Amino acid sequence: MIQNKNIPAIVKEVSLTDIKSNIRHLTDYSTRFTFSDKAILAREWIYDQFSKLGYSDVTYQDFILCDSLQKNIVCTKQGKGESDKILILCAHYDSIVKSTVGWDWQTCPAPGANDNASGVAAMIETARILKNIDMNYTIRFIAFTGEEQNLWGSRAYADHALSNNMNIVLVINLDEIGYPDVKPEWKVIIGEDQGNQDPPGNTDTKKFVEVIKQAASAYTNLTIKLLDLWRSDHMPFNSAGFTAIGVCQAGKYPHTHEVTDTYDNIDIDYVVEVTRMTAATIIKVAGITQKKYDPV
């Protein structure tokens, strides 16, 4: 794997302040429940963040879920070399809490700070630091909705990718990345298809897991812990035969799908580390084409 002497300086650009304010903003909607009016505001805000960073190719992917129009946000950073090859970085923006008697999804809070404002903030921050770096492959940043209802946003996109014969090299899905295990031995869980459900994809998975491992040890304080894929937005891609990897915190978060999944209960330093690992992996896989960023 090509090493690039610029990676430390690039990943250092990941800003704790930006990630903090993005998570705060997303949780300030109070809910991002898939069918809520607030989720519409959240998706418009995510769309605007990509536009404000200077990306011109930002679109919505529409799909219908239970008679309602839903939208994924898709931001494409066109590759400058092998641009037909696509690396996807994704995270779901919808949130949920376990419904109890009297729970009203339009008005009751489902802050989803960890699940999954953390992943969305890390994705936006990665898009920010890579904005002005020309890369070999095309990078596509996608914010999904309907994850909590059964992965509907990612299913819609994986179907679209399959029927359009997209050359997706790798999907990295961030879902709940804000709660570490005990310091200083921070770990991060990397999900790979260990069940040989798709053997050719599995071979590629091992190769990319190795890249993530190197990125984590060279540029962060994280070590990786491998698990089989769990139920999240990487699944529809894996089922469609694409190579998909999940990224998740190693700590056991006690507030998942609770009204207590708030900003104060997550660790932003840890989100920063996971974002750095993710960005370094993308650089290693997708490559940089600008002369000043030539590898060592």
- Where along the sequence are the contacts to Zn ion (CB under 5 A)? 115-116, 175
Residue 137 CB, nearest distance to Zn ion (Å)? 26
Residue 175 CB, nearest distance to Zn ion (Å)? 4
Closer CB to Zn ion, 92 or 284, in the complex? 92
What is the torsional sign of CA 157, 161, 162, 167? negative
Closer CB to Zn ion, 113 or 286, in the complex? 113
Residue 27 CB, nearest distance to Zn ion (Å)? 14
SS3 per residue for the chain: CCCCCCHHHHHHCCCHHHHHHHHHHHHHCCECCCCCHHHHHHHHHHHHHHHHCCCCCEEEEEEEECCEEEEEEEEEECCCCCCCEEEEEEEECCCCCCCCCCCCCCCCCECCHHHHHHHHHHHHHHHHHHCCCCECCEEEEEEECCHHHHCHHHHHHHHHHHHCCCEEEEEEEECCCCCCCCCCCCEEEEEECCCCCCHHHHHHHHHHHHHHHHHHHHHCCCEEEEEECCCCCHHHHHHCCCCEEEEEECCCCCCCCCCCCCHHHCCHHHHHHHHHHHHHHHHHHHCECCHHHCCC
Closer CB to Zn ion, 115 or 273, in the complex? 115
Residue 112 CB, nearest distance to Zn ion (Å)? 8
Rg (CA), the chain: 18
Closer CB to Zn ion, 34 or 116, in the complex? 116
Cis peptide before 6 (omega within 30 of 0): no
Pick from 24, 5, 9, 3: nearest CA to 271: 24
Closer CB to Zn ion, 115 or 125, in the complex? 115
First to last CA, the chain: 12
Closer CB to Zn ion, 175 or 204, in the complex? 175
Residue 248 CB, nearest distance to Zn ion (Å)? 9
Closer CB to Zn ion, 175 or 273, in the complex? 175
Residue 157 CB, nearest distance to Zn ion (Å)? 16
Residue 25 CB, nearest distance to Zn ion (Å)? 18
Closer CB to Zn ion, 93 or 242, in the complex? 93
Residue 147 CB, nearest distance to Zn ion (Å)? 6
